[in-house]
Amino acid sequence: MYINRFLERELKKYLNKKEILAVVGPRQSGKTTLLKHIFKDLKEALFLDFEDRETLELFDEDIKSFIDLYVKKYNYLFIDEFQYAKEGGKNLKYIYDNYKTKIVISGSSVSGLSIHSIKYLVGRIFVFTLHPFSFEEYLNYKEQRLYKEVYIKRKLTKPIIDKIIPCFNEFCIFGGYPRVILAQSKEEKETVLRNIYNTYFLKEIKEILNLPDDYKLAKLINALALQIGNIINYNELSDITGFNYKDLLSHINIVEKTFICIRSQPFYTNKRTELVKAPKIFFLDNGFRNMVIKNFQPIKKRPDKGSLYENFVATELVKKGLDIKYWRTKSKAEMDFIIEKKAKIIPIEVKSNLKKTKFTKSFLSFIDKYKPENGLILSEELFKKKGKTRFRPIFSVSKEV
């Protein structure tokens, strides 16, 4: 079953341009399904999968024969699982420079694509990321009427908020992987997430990156899952995983490049009073994170509810293509997220529960220092405005920034 993805519209804009299109993203985020959906409406098009070893070997070892078979006769060539190609970028450059065929590739590892492709293709490639579903996409599939009220008509009333909250709570627990969304029961969702986790290690780590210490990486991912939203403590992580400092940095980079985690760097203008080095860590998908710690309890029973909400906000902002930062002073004043957009600063604070409009000392401290045009405070249900600050439900963050 095909579920509409917002990236489809963006990709179609560039189908008649010469540049190669690359769609990257985590495994099972729907890349193959999306590309096949676009492919089926095109004439003189061919779809290949580099998990087919014969096709891959021909591309790697005999590019001219590959071109004779799969390029010359077609207007469009789609290649799935492109990260397996050893000479990916070099061969794509040759095809691009000598033939008119439009090429669309996909891959599950930014590391693989950047090493084997992108360095050869400067000026010849547009790269797009397909994340797991955003909450906006999820609501469009699950409750289209509510989606239209909130995101098209721009209406958000108390009755609408009440109807959306159950969807939001489920999304916070199980996340946005397409196959998880399609699963009918809690048990099936858990099984799918377990399979995604295991496939990540079997395919991404062992086959593509060939990492020998995958058990150490598993320890690292588990440790990071238990401290989402916290500033990274490298000494503690080294003790837990057995990685030295250099290897630890390398493996944190790997979990980021393979779409498991995302980093939030500190925002600062004064090195003497504000933190400038250590990042925070978040998971790209709440469901994957909950699979790692093996906890799928409902939101109301979760002692880590606040962390799940903050992780949700981080992922929604990243899925909108925004760079997330946090702010913290050496005197412990802190802002959860700082977004810089169109030369403006938007401070965002996330609260588990808020019954009335009120400001924390940290929020007021940031407002006083940086004087942003407006601010955003997110909580479960509050919908108000006080001065230049909007108080909004957490699920609406992508609509508010």
Q: Contact, 370 vs 362, CB < 8 A?
A: no
CA atoms within 13 A on the CB side of 294: 0
Residue ranges of domains in the chain: 7-129, 135-400
Distances (CA, A) of 135 to 8, 121, 166, 170, 194: 17, 33, 12, 11, 21
Of 214, 211, 215, 248, nearest to 232 (Cα)?
248
Q: What is the pLDDT along the chain (401 residues), one digit of tens a residue?
A: 789 999 999 999 999 999 999 999 999 999 999 999 999 999 999 999 999 999 999 999 999 999 999 999 999 999 999 988 887 889 999 999 999 999 999 988 655 555 456 678 888 999 999 999 999 999 999 999 999 999 999 899 999 999 999 999 999 999 999 999 999 999 999 999 999 999 998 888 887 777 887 889 999 999 999 999 999 999 999 999 999 999 999 999 989 988 999 999 999 988 888 777 899 999 999 999 999 999 999 999 999 999 999 999 999 999 999 999 999 998 999 999 999 998 899 999 999 889 999 999 999 999 999 999 999 999 999 999 999 999 999 999 999 99
State the pLDDT at residue 111: 54
State the residue for tokens 């090493």: 115
Residues in contact with 266: Cβ distance below 8 Å, sequence separation at least 6, in sequence order: 274, 275, 276, 277, 278, 279, 325, 326, 327, 328
Distances (CA, A) of 141 to 113, 131, 167, 318: 31, 16, 11, 20
Q: Is residue 161 within a helix (H) or strand (E), and if so which, with residue range? A: helix 158-174
The single-letter DSSP state of residue 204 is I
Q: In 10 A of CB 74, how many CB atoms?
A: 19
Of 211, 159, 156, 175, nearest to 284 (Cα)?
175
State the pLDDT at residue 109: 65
CA distance 221 to 255: 8
Please count the helices (runs of H) and the strands (runs of E) in the chain: 18, 13
Can you list the alpha helix ranges (DSSP code H) found in 71-157?
88-98, 110-116, 135-142, 144-147
State the pLDDT at residue 115: 47
CA distance 385 to 392: 8
For the domain made up of 7-129, give the CATH fold: Rossmann fold (3.40.50)
